[in-house]
Amino acid sequence: SRPGVLPPWILAPKESAPPILSALYEERPCLVVNKPAGLLTQAPRGIDSLEIWVREYYRNKEGKPADANLYVGIVHRLDRCVSGAVTFTRHVRAARKLATQFSERTVGKAYWAVVEGTVAPDEGTWQDYLHKRHGMAQAEVVSADHPAAKHAVLHYRVRGRTETQTWLEIELETGRTHQIRVQASSRGHPVVGDGQYVSTTPV
């Protein structure tokens, strides 16, 4: 790893969400877009979300009226506080095919996180048992014999460091609620700016 190196987005000035959809890739019924931090992937009616942005994108592209009932398939999600690539589809068949690929883990996904403190060694695997707290959007580490415990495994590699923070590239072997955030925080390395899991570093 290279001392003093963090990803450019952690060093850049904080900006508000872009007013228009940022499309990264589009081929036939598949659309990959950049979800900004602070925006829900999907939300109940009346709450802003990336899904609404995608519907508006298709309405404009296809010349549909504002009240048109457009199908938009969501095959995976990112937490509200997370930015990154999210895939949508325009047709049910494409959504089903992609959902199968995600569930069978034939799609490669890498996550970047800047966490507090010095993570060592430079590569490793974290294994825990997690429990999603009832009625709350929050998870916690529990013992293996907890009745609702679910095994959580991730693999990480250090990409850069400063004196106080570490930039990690992470591959999830399991997909639990807030898995990266919970596992990192439980080791004393909360994701920078994640106050829900005891980060004390503002962003």
Q: Contact at 8 Å (CB) between 90 and 64?
A: no
Q: Return the closest-CA partner of residue 56 out of 88, 14, 92, 96.
A: 88
Annotated catalytic residue: which of 79, 122, 128, 145? 79
Give Cα 158 to chain centroid, integer Å.
Answer: 18
Q: Contact at 8 Å (CB) between 200 and 126?
A: no
Number of Cβ within 10 Å of residue 69's Cβ equals: 6
Number of Cβ within 10 Å of residue 70's Cβ equals: 13
Cα distance between residue 87 and residue 63, in whole Å: 22
Specify whether 122 is catalytic: no
74's CB contacts (< 8 A; 6+ apart) are 41, 42, 51, 86, 88, 95
Catalytic residues: 79
